[in-house]
Chains A and B, each alone.
Chain A
């Protein structure tokens, strides 16, 4: 239903923007443990989500956390697409030798689970948000590469493209007016998929404790820090999970095709 899907699409953009706002503004400082004496108190008028176990306003942590999750996932997605497109570009227009080697490398790369890449990177580099972003984006490059390649080859060799070429369209025109509009919906679909995977993997790795700063507000890391409070104040665990799920659900439900 295109009516619903456009609503969802707007809602998704809205949710992402709202999360990103959390990077710049939150009602309280999400890192300051100002309310230690109020720790674990539940929702109140001045603290909509209560206080967490270390005396910080939980709502601010959640907001900043969503912002960080969204920002990190978007960065991982961009890095991922950039690397995959770059590899694809080399493979398509580079020398013969690279055309054999790159698919070879991808073939090996695809067999390594992201989790292990993250683990190994953590042992080498300092565990930090940046390391996680790199690990997650690199880990998903084979997936992006394969899908982009399929899309590109399908479209590039389509009849209407060849026809446009024969009609004398230049390379730029081909790219901008013929290929891009048809690639865009599929690219958006792929982007959504990879964004979802990135968010989940980032939270998963943060949950396993691979993020450097213990207080870094990221939804998976918050979940990990609050897991110990599951019985004392279950909302401390429920909210990060709910926000994550809602964000991803919105992303998923927003359609990108126009038919």
Chain B
């Protein structure tokens, strides 16, 4: 019986009729669906994409990245100046901006966002919040104060060229101090910002409902309401899109997009994200320490095949541990790692002791922005390594358990990745290679690579303000990386968002933030 039903359903699926609303009217509610719900809505204490993308409609920063680029443009601040020594940043705030609760934007109200992260005794410095981005991106900020009714000034302890970029990212998005006074800790669930949409309601694990901010200082939002729905199952999410119940979605596996390619009703927006997925060697694994062996293993892996088979082409091969176009990227055309299994085999044949025990490749089950299918990627790598006569054992864990092992260096090979925060190379290179990032249980330098020369270059790169100087510094850092190879960068995964073709004004951002403010509707 079940056989008949199944066969019938397969036939029907193939001829399936979708139910798009073809009335041509502009809907007054824009529905966007993602695979999981936001966690919190406090810009200073989040780090998952869903929370950030929800706040992206509600909150704004002093500056922002020009749409589609990594260039800074003034936003809530109408202008800014940086002192010659790079230690003082002054922002002139825009007039006539109000938060969603009516609070006017001025120096005093703007300070709230920063003071609560900087000052540990501030009442809004919640004790259970991590504020990890402040420590990570803004540690040089010594003081922040109002130097005029609409002027605020940041003083740094050391110059850091990336601070301006960091101020465009979500931890620096402004929230209303009045909201904290009225609601206290509940602001974590009810954000009040200055953006094109305002927060209305949050049904956990179902949807977050926003409505148009009628008093928005910039161009009016395109819809009366914006609903951000949670649909965990990819297949179901796609079905809802095809049925016309939602207007846009993200988080699909590349393989699932194949049948949308020729469909004129949908537009696939894809661009390489500011991320890198890599395979790390642990310094604690003695038998893989030799750079020759590491290079051999790197040459054995067919990264193009990973892009084609595991990501269906929705990624690019990562030549360096930083995304393409970043400062520090060498402009010579000779990539540091080439795919050459024969050379790899020759080198590895000289190390027969590697065959005594299978090499452990650690991976995890949950999809991440840099690895939509980590299991498949591990599987392809294993095949490649077995092609050069190595034996590989794949150890799979849930993501958190994998992270525990990774952060302790308890592996020989491990898959992991990183999504960039502010577009600065330091955000990648110091994360991966700095010895201060190699602390057990909180390491982001999971290779536990400690090299004095590298450390010096990274510190210098942070403090230099001249762009050409920084370029040279980071190029040198990459030379050291290519020599010691603590990790093999594999791919830069593309961010994929699918929208109905009637949706206008949508543009993918380098930071992977989704902005629906400028989005509108145009019947086909």
Known: A213-B394, A232-B258. A245 touches B309 (CB 8 A): no
Q: Is the CB of A123 within 8 A of B398?
A: yes
Q: Is the CB of A235 within 8 A of B375?
A: no
| Chain B, interface SS category | helix
Task: List A139-157 residues whose CB lies under 8 Å from chain B.
Answer: none
The stretch of B6-14, B122-130, B443-451 that contacts the partner chain = B6-14
Q: Is the CB of A234 within 8 A of B13?
A: yes
**In the assembled complex, B524 has its CB within 8 A of some CB on chain A:** no
**In the assembled complex, A214 has its CB within 8 A of some CB on chain B:** yes
**In the assembled complex, B442 has its CB within 8 A of some CB on chain A:** no
**In the assembled complex, B256 has its CB within 8 A of some CB on chain A:** yes
On chain A, the residues within 8 Å of B10 by CB distance are 234-235, 238
Known: A228-B256, A232-B258. A126 touches B235 (CB 8 A): no
On chain B, the residues within 8 Å of A53 by CB distance are 255, 309
What is the CA–CA distance of A227 and B234 in the complex, to the nearest angstrom? Answer: 9
**In the assembled complex, A65 has its CB within 8 A of some CB on chain B:** no
Q: Is the CB of A242 within 8 A of B13?
A: no
Task: List A108-143 residues whose CB lies under 8 Å from chain B.
Answer: 122-123, 126-127
Q: Which residue of A lies closest to B256 (CB)?
A: A228
Task: List A227-259 residues whose CB lies under 8 Å from chain B.
Answer: 227-232, 234-235, 238, 241-242, 245-246, 249
On chain A, the residues within 8 Å of B309 by CB distance are 36, 39, 53-55
On chain A, the residues within 8 Å of B476 by CB distance are none
**In the assembled complex, A6 has its CB within 8 A of some CB on chain B:** no
CB distance from A188 to the nearest CB of B (A): 23
What is the CA–CA distance of A100 and B364 in the complex, to the nearest angstrom? Answer: 43
What is the CA–CA distance of A235 and B10 in the complex, to the nearest angstrom? Answer: 8
State which of B3, B256, B401 has its C-beta within 8 Å of the C-beta of A231.
Answer: B256
State which of B6, B366, B398 has its C-beta within 8 Å of the C-beta of A241.
Answer: B6
**In the assembled complex, B66 has its CB within 8 A of some CB on chain A:** no
Q: Is the CB of A214 within 8 A of B2?
A: no
On chain B, the residues within 8 Å of A213 by CB distance are 394, 396
| Chain A, interface SS category | loop
Known: A228-B234, A238-B6, A242-B6. A215 touches B379 (CB 8 A): yes
State which of A32, A209, A232, A245 has its C-beta within 8 Å of the C-beta of B3.
Answer: A245
Q: Is the CB of A212 within 8 A of B259?
A: no
CB distance from B211 to the nearest CB of A (A): 34
What is the CA–CA distance of A147 and B238 in the complex, to the nearest angstrom? Answer: 44
Interface flags, B260-302, vs A, CB<8A=1, else 0: 0000000000000000000000000000000000000000000
Interface flags, A26-63, vs B, CB<8A=1, else 0: 00000011001001000000000000011100000000
Q: Is the CB of B2 within 8 A of A126?
A: no
State which of A209, A231, A234 has its C-beta within 8 Å of the C-beta of B258.
Answer: A231
Q: What residues of chain B have their CB less than 8 Å away from a CB belonging to chain A?
A: 1-3, 6-7, 10, 13-14, 234-235, 238, 253, 255-256, 258-259, 305, 309, 363, 365-366, 373, 375-376, 378-380, 383, 394-398, 401
Q: What residues of chain A have their CB less than 8 Å away from a CB belonging to chain B?
A: 32-33, 36, 39, 53-55, 122-123, 126-127, 209-215, 225, 227-232, 234-235, 238, 241-242, 245-246, 249
A–B pairs, 6, beta carbons within 8 Å: A55-B309, A122-B397, A123-B401, A126-B397, A231-B256, A232-B258
Instruction: Kindly list the 5 A-B residue pairs having the minimum CB-CB distance in the complex, ordered from nearest.
Output: A214-B375, A228-B255, A245-B2, A209-B365, A228-B253
Could you list 13 further interchain pairs (A-B, Cβ under 8 angstroms) beyond the known A126-B397, A234-B14, A249-B1? Answer: A54-B380, A126-B395, A126-B396, A212-B395, A213-B394, A214-B396, A231-B256, A232-B258, A234-B10, A234-B13, A242-B2, A246-B3, A249-B2
